[in-house]
Structure 1
Amino acid sequence: MFALVQAALVSGAVSYAAIRHWIARAPQEVLQRIGARHDRRTGRYHAPHPDTVCRTLAQVG
């Protein structure tokens, strides 16, 4: 998850809302490279839920 947060920050996201938005719409290639959860049925990678991102960042910060 922190790799996604870093990618969002490098891409210009500067607020919690912007970070959550970027992660929710992260490209499949990015999700694959960081090891996101893979759905074998659909073949797609899934980012963590935006609420999970927010809770985790709140606990760290």
Structure 2
Amino acid sequence: MLSNIGVPGLILILVIALIVFGPSKLPEIGRAVGGSLKEFKKATREIVKDDEPEKIEVKNKEKETV
């Protein structure tokens, strides 16, 4: 979906955001979005990290039965 936007579309979106929110609010919005992405990545890594030991245990059990 985002691959269809292109550079001109992205610039247009940024200009509209600047007009709507104003120059003083944009840094705050950017920090909020960045913080949200950081928390999402952290949660995703923790979920994947929690699943890895279970996968290793399943592989070990399969090796034991063979």
TM-score (norm. length: structure 1)? 0.29
Structure with more of its chain in strand, by fraction: 1
Structure 2-normalised TM-score?
0.27
